Amino acid sequence: MKLRNLILTGCLCLVFDPLQAADIYRWVDDQGQTQLSDVVPERYRDRATRITSRKFELTSEQKLEARDRAVYEAQRARDENVLRRQANEKALAFEQERRERAAQELARARAKTDSVAPADNTNSQCEALWRRYNDGVACFSRFAAGNVGGRSVRIRPEAFQLCADAPLPPSSCSPPVRAEVFPMNVLRWP
């Protein structure tokens, strides 16, 4: 019953709304400025002209066009949201797949280095240990964040899934010195 009364009240307001519209008048004052108002001062009543607001009302075709345009814009916004959501889901799936592939490749590389037969030569074993350690450090350094003046470094959690955490080789293995890293002219003192 309340809903019926509410609908009836709304319809009556729509019907009687144009009837309550106030008349608007236009006149030019003594300074030459055009004035618009619903109340005209006494001295300008003879110069004031009534303006009908009917010419500013929308025709039924214009109302239909406006409604259709609003429906079109709402549908377009919904479609754009759906496309944006699908693109985000695709990007997340692609990123997840990329991470899984990287983890699989890393696991294969770890298995390969772990399954290498021990070398007869201690030197080649030391080189392998240092190579594994340096590869791990290089991998973890890509995920380092927050290095402020050498103080604290935070490693992002995904690094532990993708990088091999190799221990520091024993002191019996001396670190390899590469000629391309340390050219001879840099090591000499003047």
pLDDT confidence tier of residue 190, bands split at 50, 70 and 90: very low
35-39, 70-74, 75-79, 159-163: range with lowest mean pLDDT:
159-163
Q: Given a cut of 80, is residue 114 above it in pLDDT? A: no
Task: For the chain, state the CA radius of gyration.
Answer: 40
64-68, 85-89, 129-133, 163-167: range with lowest mean pLDDT:
163-167
Q: Which domain holds residue 69?
A: 59-115
Distance CA 100, CA 161 (A): 10
Co-location of 74 and 37 in the same domain:
no
Co-location of 128 and 148 in the same domain:
yes
Cβ–Cβ < 8 Å for 70, 57: no
**Sheet of strand 24-28: strand arrangement:** 34-37, 24-28, 49-51
* Domain annotation covers residue 17: no
Co-location of 82 and 93 in the same domain:
yes
Highest mean pLDDT pick, 1-5, 152-156, 167-171: 167-171
Tell me how many domains the chain contains.
Answer: 3
For residue 11, what are the CA distances in angstroms to 21, 54, 64, 78?
17, 20, 19, 31
0.75 cut: is pTM over it?
no
Co-location of 51 and 64 in the same domain:
no
Highest mean pLDDT pick, 20-29, 62-71, 91-100: 62-71
pLDDT confidence tier of residue 178, bands split at 50, 70 and 90: low
Give residue-wise pLDDT tens across range 32-60.
Answer: 999 988 899 999 888 888 887 676 778 88
Co-location of 51 and 66 in the same domain:
no
